[in-house]
Amino acid sequence: MKLNYKYDDGLEFIQYCSNEELNFFVELYRNEAKLTEGLTSQSEYKEYFPNHHKYWKLIAAELQYFGGNTVLNTPRGYGVRYKEILCDVCSKELISYDKNADVAQIEKVLIFEYLEKIIKNMLPDELQEFKNNLNLTQIDEIKLLNEIRKRLFTNKVFFQNTVTILLSSLGKSFIKQVFKNALPFIAQELLKKSVGLPIGIAINMKEITDPAFRITLPSVLYISYLREKYKEKDLLFRYRFYPKIGSILRTELIAGGADHSGIYIGNNQIIEITEKNGSGRVETTDLNDFVHSSSARTGVTIYIAIDKLSKDIIVNKRIIDVANQYIGKKNKYQLMKDNCHSFVHKCIINEDFAKITSVWKFKQLTESISKNLNNNRLVQWVVCDINPVEYKRTKKWKIEDEVV
């Protein structure tokens, strides 16, 4: 069967990987899918092996085929795109994720939730060793998960080291020959320590008996590592979004359990309403404080509302005029009735700030944006191409790790 590669912005960057890095996929297919892989029968493979660069599209195509349904792959002539493979892994592993998020964002969520499951089942000695290996010894257990989450999303080296440990541990649990032959080149110093995690605790062992899943799971983990290494190349193939005056932003609260929203007014400033002593006060804040100004603001990224089909940022400068007139004013803040989403909605429809509105859920705000600012077209929330922490330090934009 001829392997056909379907253009995939989530995989295009692997054309820049070295032969040694691409060899992981080749070894994985050859060892774990001897009876079903199609790569070694391709003419390009036979002619150029082991110069994997010459047939990187076939390597990517093989993964797309393993991610797709065999019955459907044959008539359509190709497999599925990487994002569908990634989402399938998350679903099988019972990982909570936003299907509208970017692949880099979903990869980080997957890694974090794996770690969360593992850490919660660690013995004290195992946990201490884990903290030592990732320089987390000064973080107490109560704050550990929040600190790990923050570092995974904002610290490239920490993310790569963490994925390396997960891959190494996966190799000690199963598909040992592949990891022995093809993985030793990454993060050699970490691997020399013989670090390991009880990763079997986190993995759905029923699914690992599925031959295709034995390909897609390690591939997704490995690709997340490579994406960090080749981030600038990866970004050549994916959209970038920056805040625009009159756009609507959001960030996460309480480790993703809720959301906070505001209106971008330019000069790195956002108008928001915050609760203080039972009252809601409208004020301006900068990018960093929008994300980190209180213990409840546990987000590490800023999202922006865009048109799902056109990918245009949804902008309306009129809502800034409405919001500006309320700066410094207070109302009776009610979390479940009149909150930050209510404030943004009232600015959108130019409703009296003091009036109680029926819109207070994030989903309702999204519907309001669609109806009142986007002609009832679908709205998507994507990650902004900014790093709020870095901005506070340098006052300059910096490309974020999980940019869309």
**143 & 282 share domain:** no
Beta bridge partners of 259: 252
pLDDT at 397: 42
**258 & 232 share domain:** no
Q: Is pLDDT at 187 greater than 90 in this prediction?
A: no
- 3-class SS letters over 297-313: CCCCCCEEEEECCCCCE
7 in any annotated domain: no
Q: What pLDDT band is residue 190 in, cutting at 50, 70 and 90?
A: very low
Instruction: List strands edge to edge, sheet with 279-286.
Output: 330-332, 279-286, 269-276, 258-266, 248-253, 303-307, 379-383
Q: Is pLDDT at 16 greater than 70 in this prediction?
A: yes
How many CA within 13 A on the CB side of residue 40?
Answer: 13
Over residues 25-71, the pLDDT tens digits come to 998 898 888 888 999 999 999 999 999 999 999 999 999 999 987 66
Share of the chain above pLDDT 70, in %: 83
For the chain, what is the domain count?
A: 2
331 in any annotated domain: yes
**351 & 329 share domain:** yes
Q: Is pLDDT at 123 greater than 90 in this prediction?
A: no
404 in any annotated domain: no
What distances in angstroms separate CA 84 from CA 38, 91, 204, 225, one per listed residue? 20, 10, 19, 18
Over residues 126-157, the pLDDT tens digits come to 788 878 877 888 887 778 888 888 888 888 88
Q: What is the mean pLDDT of the chain?
A: 82
269 in any annotated domain: yes
**223 & 316 share domain:** no
- Mean pLDDT over 77-91 rounds to 91
**118 & 165 share domain:** yes
**175 & 223 share domain:** yes
**44 & 71 share domain:** yes
Beta bridge partners of 381: 305
**134 & 201 share domain:** yes
Sign of CA dihedral 397, 398, 402, 404: positive
Which of 237, 256, 291 is the endpoint of a domain?
Answer: 237
2 in any annotated domain: no
**111 & 195 share domain:** yes
125 compared with 184, residue with greater pLDDT: 125
66 in any annotated domain: yes
Which of 189, 206, 237 is the endpoint of a domain?
Answer: 237
pLDDT at 324: 94
How far is 291 from 400, CA to CA, in rounded Å? 14
pLDDT at 352: 82
pLDDT at 255: 65
293 compared with 193, residue with greater pLDDT: 293
1 in any annotated domain: no
**92 & 34 share domain:** yes
| Residue 356 near residue 339, CB atoms below 8 Å | no
5 in any annotated domain: no
**85 & 229 share domain:** yes
pLDDT at 115: 84
Which of 202, 237, 272 is the endpoint of a domain?
Answer: 237
What distances in angstroms separate CA 241 from CA 216, 227, 362, 383, one per listed residue? 29, 19, 21, 7
Question: Residue 335 carries which DSSP code?
Answer: T
How far is 123 from 120, CA to CA, in rounded Å? 9
Q: What pLDDT band is residue 279 in, cutting at 50, 70 and 90?
A: confident
Over residues 106-122, the pLDDT tens digits come to 899 899 988 888 888 88
- Candidates 210, 236, 294; CA nearest to 260 is 294
pLDDT at 278: 77
339: domain CATH number is 3.90.1720.10
Q: Is pLDDT at 286 greater than 70 in this prediction?
A: yes
pLDDT at 398: 38
Q: State which residues form the domain around 299.
A: 248-394
How far is 240 from 236, CA to CA, in rounded Å? 9
**226 & 341 share domain:** no
pTM: 0.67
- Candidates 391, 348, 116; CA nearest to 246 is 348
